[in-house]
Amino acid sequence: MKELSEAERPYEKCERHGAGYLSDAELLAVLLRSGSHGENALELARRILYSIGDGSILSIHNLDLEEWKSIRGIGRVKAIQLACISELSRRLAKARAFEKLSFRSPASIADYYMEDLRHKKQEEMKLLMLDSKSGLIAESDISKGTVNASMITPRELFIEALQKNAVSIIILHNHPSGDPTPSRADCQLTQRIEKAGEFIGIELLDHIIIGNNCYISFLEEGLLHTKG
């Protein structure tokens, strides 16, 4: 980036004003370190952000390693750098959310699992298994693809919950559209799991749907029949 004036160079800007002063493209340029043929690191960073999204740094979550490699100017090393940047940001967000995590609080559960689920390109469902004090015994990924009553049966959930001696469970899944509004299938599945739990003696505490930086809790919305 030597062809840029000193005032425009991200490294110098960071030294003078701090990392918070840099734009998304400038931050990415610093991490990429070098450009590609015919463009410097800053130009490459800008092209990346606008070719995969709206120019926001959040766009880096949209691509996996092989997709990064398909972009002109992104070879093996840079693809690995970008994939690792995305994973690092996810882990930092999750570590921060862990400090406030309570399995009695839908908001804190949604916050903790938000970065795991909101960038997924297909629906994924997690099963959280809890003890008598609402402490987490274990979690399990139980479905990938469309989450609906025909693809997931209460039986498979409760077999695992019984094996772990769970007293209660929470299920959560994502909507890739970013809108967490429950579908008819979501409601039907929740009712089936809730009724099966009553019979078995393992309570469904909540079903949380993750959207893009938002969520809906069946418990908070009064959509669990045993809660009201």
The predicted-structure confidence for 40-53, as pLDDT tens digits, reads as follows 888 888 888 888 77
Residue 4: pLDDT band by 50, 70, 90 thresholds?
A: low
Which residues on adjacent β-strands are paired with residue 217?
A: 208
Burial 67-98 (b: 16+ CB within 10 A, else e): ebbebeebeeebbebbbebbeeebeeebeebe
Residues of the chain with CATH 3.40.140.10: 100-227
> Is residue 3's pLDDT more than 80?
no
CATH number, domain 6-95, options 2.10.25, 1.10.150, 1.10.10, 1.10.287: 1.10.150
Rg of the chain (C-alpha set): 22
Alpha carbon distance 191, 96 (integer Å)? 33
Q: Token pair for residue 106? A: 């839908």
Alpha carbon distance 174, 119 (integer Å)? 9
The predicted pLDDT at position 228 comes to 44
> Is residue 203's pLDDT more than 80?
yes
> Is residue 149's pLDDT more than 50?
no
112 versus 97: the higher-pLDDT residue is: 112
Residues of the chain with CATH 1.10.150: 6-95
% of the chain residues with pLDDT over 70? 93
Say which residues have a Cβ less than 8 Å from residue 197's Cβ, sequence separation at least 6: 154, 158, 169, 203, 204
For residue 46, give the nearest of 97, 94, 4, 15 by alpha carbon. Answer: 4
What strands lie across the sheet with 215-217, from one edge to the other? Answer: 136-144, 124-130, 168-174, 203-210, 215-217
For residue 7, give the nearest of 26, 35, 20 by alpha carbon. Answer: 26
pLDDT in tens, 150-188: 467 788 889 999 999 999 999 999 999 999 999 998 999
Contact 105, 119 (CB under 8 A): no
Architecture of domain 100-227: 3-Layer(aba) Sandwich (3.40)
Residue 2: pLDDT band by 50, 70, 90 thresholds?
A: low
Mean pLDDT across the stretch 184-213? 94
